[in-house]
């Protein structure tokens, strides 16, 4: 399959008519699979109401069939045709944060195919905060199911080039809207329980949610690995670079000793570190994620940084750890997943 690329300037105010969206919108309506940018990561979209189109997403990604998809809509009212029993807390979250990087898990309506929800009786829904994504959904005229547009297990794509690296030849096309902003996936929150539960930390933090609805909990698997996550996707090894990736929970002195030891054992060593770390540490390949005082920069650069090591070949990558406050919780969640929880001290 020839994968098309449609380039759109997300920031342009003049070209609000976006003629480049006509073809991808039509392909979506016709049951094809198209990748598009959102404010978090690129998504791999298909008509959420078309079972055959949904199957194509799972095939292209090599995604396990028990891992449900998020449905993307452009208008809050559309929630009511996909979900029922929407609680007051869920309503408040949607009003406060949509469009934005938060996905609500709600009781599904029969109209939503079980292929999308991987057989669950709940459905995950969000409105992305991205001009091109919203316009594409409007023009397609159907709700769009979309997981991140990477091969299953790889870091999520934050630009069109990442999408093509993983999926070229396997999908109809990709809308190239430049780099995404947040860089990490949306927060997933289960709103079917009396106290909403964060299943996946992401762009909207627990602190932000608590300001709007009071009590919010984290799913037990996030603090205790003996628990099985209730969000199916969270149980897989994820976001992984090709080389072995190990987190370093130590000061820069100790960090440098670890690098030096690995080098003397004959390894080509990469490090994924903050700007501060990059000034002190030396290794064969240094990827700088930005200042650790600005965790939003770190989140925005994280996946691109991890993917760097697939071109800059190394034997082992050591990663700096970050403070688990605000978006730092999501950053550390992804770093732990990418490393398969390998930490040295």
In the three-class reduction of DSSP (H, G, I as helix; E, B as strand; rest coil), residue 304 is classed as helix
How would you list the strands of the sheet with 343-344, edge to edge? 285-288, 269-273, 316-320, 244-248, 343-344
Contact yes or no for 252/281 (Cβ under 8 A): yes
Span from 40-48, 206-214, 215-223, 254-262 in contact with ligand TXA (CB under 6 A): 40-48
Residue least distant from ligand TXA (Cβ): 233
Quick one: 38 or 278, whose CB is closer to Mg ion?
A: 38
Question: For the window 228-267, what string marks contact with ligand TXA as x by the rule CB under 6 A?
Answer: ---xxxx---------------------------------
The stretches of the chain forming alpha helices (DSSP H) are 22-29, 51-61, 79-82, 88-97, 114-117, 131-140, 160-167, 206-213, 252-264, 275-280, 295-311, 328-338
Among 74, 148, 152, 172, binds ligand TXA (CB under 6 A): 148
Find the binding residues for ligand TXA in span 298-327 (CB under 6 A): none
Nearer to ligand TXA, 21 or 199 (CB): 199
Site for ligand TXA in 57-116 (CB under 6 A): 67-70, 101, 103, 105
Question: 277 near 271, Cβ under 8 Å?
Answer: yes
* Cβ nearer to ligand TXA, comparing 137 with 213: 137
C-alpha to C-alpha distance for 7 and 14, rounded to whole angstroms = 15
Q: Within positions 114 to 153, which residues make up the interface with Mg ion, using CB under 5 A?
A: 148
Q: 188: which strand partners?
A: 103, 200
Q: Which does residue 270 bind out of Mg ion, ligand TXA, none, counting CB within 5 to 8 angstroms by kind?
A: none
One residue of 143, 147, 270, 328 binding ligand TXA per CB under 6 A? 147
Min separation Cβ 148 and ligand TXA, Å: 4
**Residue 40 in the binding site for ligand TXA (CB under 6 A):** yes
Q: Which region among 2-10, 87-95, 141-149, 299-307 touches ligand TXA (by CB under 6 A)?
A: 141-149
Q: Out of 35, 82, 123, 262, name the contact with ligand TXA by CB under 6 A.
A: 123
Closest-CA residue to 216 (of 234, 184, 194): 194
Distance CA(287)–CA(254), nearest Å, equals 19
Name, in order, each residue with C-beta under 8 angstroms of 215's C-beta and a sequence gap of 6 or more.
195
Bridge-based pairing state of the strands 187-190 and 197-200: antiparallel
Total residues at interface with ligand TXA (CB under 6 A): 29
Query: What gap in Å lies between CA 140 and CA 336, rounded to an integer?
Result: 37
| Near ligand TXA by CB under 6 A: residue from 186, 208, 274, 338 | 186
300, with CB counted inside 10 A (0-12, 13-18, 19+), is buried
Q: Nearer to ligand TXA by C-beta: 17 or 110? A: 110
Min separation Cβ 278 and ligand TXA, Å: 28
- The two tokens of residue 203 are 């762009």
Mark the segment that binds ligand TXA (CB under 6 A) among 12-20, 208-216, 227-235, 251-259: 227-235
- Give residues in contact with ligand TXA (CB under 6 A): 38, 40-41, 43, 67-70, 101, 103, 105, 117, 120, 122-124, 128, 146-148, 185-186, 188, 199-200, 231-234
Residues of the shown chain interacting with Mg ion in the complex, contacts defined by CB under 5 A: 148
């Amino acid at each position: 399959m020839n994968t098309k690329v449609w380039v759109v300037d997300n920031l342009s105010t003049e070209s609000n008519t976006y003629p480049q969206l006509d073809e991808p919108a039509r392909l979506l309506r016709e049951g094809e699979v198209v990748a598009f940018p959102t404010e978090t990561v690129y998504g791999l979209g298909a008509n959420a109401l078309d079972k055959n189109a949904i199957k194509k997403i799972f095939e292209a990604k090599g995604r396990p069939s028990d891992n449900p998809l998020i449905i993307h809509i452009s208008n809050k009212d559309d929630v009511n045709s996909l979900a029922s029993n929407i609680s007051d807390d869920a309503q408040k979250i949607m009003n406060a944060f949509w469009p934005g990087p938060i996905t609500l898990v709600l009781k599904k309506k029969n109209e939503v195919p079980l292929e999308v929800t991987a057989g669950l009786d709940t459905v995950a829904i969000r409105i992305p905060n991205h001009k091109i994504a919203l316009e594409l959904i409007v023009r397609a005229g159907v709700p769009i199911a979309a997981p991140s547009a990477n091969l299953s297990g790889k870091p999520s794509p934050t630009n069109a080039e990442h999408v093509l690296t993983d999926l070229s030849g396997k999908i109809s096309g990709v809308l190239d809207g430049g780099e995404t902003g947040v860089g990490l996936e949306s927060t997933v929150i289960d709103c079917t329980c009396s106290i909403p539960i964060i299943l996946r930390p992401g762009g909207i933090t627990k602190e932000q949610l608590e300001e709007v609805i009071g009590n919010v909990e984290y799913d037990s698997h996030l603090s205790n690995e003996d628990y099985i996550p209730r969000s199916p996707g969270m149980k897989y090894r994820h976001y992984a670079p090709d080389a072995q990736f190990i987190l370093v929970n130590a000061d820069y002195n100790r960090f440098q000793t670890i690098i030096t030891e690995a080098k003397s054992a004959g390894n080509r060593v990469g490090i994924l570190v903050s700007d501060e770390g990059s000034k002190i540490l030396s290794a064969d390949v240094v990827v700088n994620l930005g200042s650790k005082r600005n965790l939003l920069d770190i989140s925005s650069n994280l996946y691109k940084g991890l993917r760097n090591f697939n071109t800059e070949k190394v034997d082992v990558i050591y990663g700096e750890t970050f403070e688990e406050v605000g978006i730092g919780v999501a950053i550390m969640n992804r770093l732990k997943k990418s490393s398969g929880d390998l930490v040295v001290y």
